Amino acid sequence: MAKAYNPYENMLAVLENAAKMLGLEEKQYVMLKYPERELKVSVPVEMDDGSVKVFEGYRVQHSSVRGPCKGGIRFHQNTDINEVKALAAWMSFKCAVANIPYGGGKGGVCVDPSTLSKNELRRLTRRYTAMIAPIIGPEKDIPAPDVNTNGEIMGWVMDTYSMLKGYSIPGVVTGKPLEIGGSLGRPEATGRGVMFVTRELLKRLGKEIKDVTIAVQGMGNVGGVAARLLHEQGAVIKAVSDVSGGIYKADGLDINEVYAYTRAKRGNLLKDYKPSKGEVKHITNEEVLTCDVDLLVPAALENAITADIAKNVKAKYIVEGANGPTTVDADAILEKKGVTLVPDILANSGGVIVSYFEWVQNIQSLSWNEDEVNKMLDKQISKAFADVWDISKEKKSTLRLGAYMTAIQRIVRAHEIRGIFP
């Protein structure tokens, strides 16, 4: 039987390669192989029928050397400690690539939230927040949304933490609703960042977005918004998918209609989608990843592009909207095939960049308009892209290794300046 996929090992493999390429000594980066702190909690929830269920949850703080830990909370039935550890490390690298003053952290609860009522979900969120409260806070570790969590849930996190402290503390969490200190532009920020990064890539390749055909895996907050904004810039979106499967149209989907359909009602799945005009072909998720497009945006979960799928990928460019969608083996195959891949820690950093803007507004009691936020995001992520592109050219490496090298250099330097306590 094939060895179970462990995203933490995936992270370690890339870290080692990048450190080697930088010529670092082991003692300079060894601490990045271990999270600073791991907390495991058992979260009891009183269910609507009066029974009590206990869910396992985690908060991992990978590195705080460049600033408070930062990273989302996911609710997913397959979440485990190795996944959360990998995601926490990727946040450290992401914040370093984006050059925002944060380290990395991540949280998760092993639960399928679609099986819970809204009241159960709220009780789960509040109890989980109370149990991780000793280690989070605006100066320590700042959660945000991730897979299956959203602004409403962040509002409950903010309220629970504030109640425990006795006063309102909006800066404890980002991705909040606007009314309680959220930032304009935050809900779309990750998808918008994917669009900016795609634009920067194509610019360097001498291509225009309108000449590019695209497939997007995942129609959630990242994939859905990225598909809509790339389409707005003139790209032809040939295929998209959600958990139920994919849809394909050779001359381009009506992406605004598809987007509206997926948002119209909870539970609206693409397998049941019928366009108002013309026809779409219903295809599998795997077919979305391997269809005849120029550019692929995997924006669902880890481990989507495996070695078997990589062999059949036809796209020449990949922009990773999800965290860790490509396995190490798949990466090697794609490199050999000459595919240019913009890695997750750069491509999806738009979310945490605007989270940083939200936190800055919170701690200074300011509020910026959406145009300002979007422009600042463009500037920050385009600079990150340029840094990664330049080091990749200099070292003749993939963009993934270029992004890791950019991040590791910054984190290692911060470690050297601070020294090891005591």
- Shortest Å distance, C-beta 296 to ligand GLU: 19
- Shortest Å distance, C-beta 39 to ligand GLU: 17
Name the closest residue to ligand GLU (Cβ): 72
Is 174 near ligand GLU (CB under 6 A)? Answer: yes
Nearest residue (CB) to ligand GLU, 310 versus 352: 352
Nearest residue (CB) to ligand GLU, 98 versus 313: 98
Torsion sign across C-alpha atoms 326, 330, 331, 335: negative
Is 146 near ligand GLU (CB under 6 A)? Answer: yes
Distance from C-alpha of 363 to C-alpha of 141, rounded to nearest angstrom: 14
- Alpha-carbon dihedral of residues 51, 120, 108, 73, nearest 10 degrees? -170
Q: Which two tokens stand for residue 110?
A: 């092993």
Is 412 near ligand GLU (CB under 6 A)? Answer: no
Q: Which two tokens stand for residue 370?
A: 């959406």
Residue 106 is a catalytic residue: yes
Is 343 near ligand GLU (CB under 6 A)? Answer: no
Is 192 near ligand GLU (CB under 6 A)? Answer: no
Q: Which residue stretch of 24-32, 154-162, 308-316, 344-352 sits at the interface with ligand GLU (rule: CB under 6 A)?
A: 344-352
Nearest residue (CB) to ligand GLU, 94 versus 249: 94
Nearest residue (CB) to ligand GLU, 94 versus 410: 94
Nearest residue (CB) to ligand GLU, 221 versus 262: 221
Single out the catalytic residue among 70, 94, 106, 238. Answer: 106
Is 212 near ligand GLU (CB under 6 A)? Answer: no
- Shortest Å distance, C-beta 195 to ligand GLU: 16
Nearest residue (CB) to ligand GLU, 97 versus 291: 97
Is 153 near ligand GLU (CB under 6 A)? Answer: no
Which residue in 124, 144, 154, 391 binds ligand GLU (CB under 6 A)?
144
Is 157 near ligand GLU (CB under 6 A)? Answer: no
Cβ atoms of 73 and 109 closer than 8 Å: yes
Is 347 near ligand GLU (CB under 6 A)? Answer: no
**Of 304, 323, 338, the residue nearest 86 (C-alpha):** 323
Measured CA to CA in angstroms, residue 186 lies from 175, 321, 327, 406 at distances of 6, 16, 29, 25
Residues 50-89 that bind ligand GLU (CB under 6 A): 70-72
Is 384 near ligand GLU (CB under 6 A)? Answer: no
- Shortest Å distance, C-beta 196 to ligand GLU: 15
Catalytic residue list: 106
Interacting residues toward ligand GLU by CB under 6 A: 70-72, 94, 144, 146, 174, 323, 348, 351-352, 355
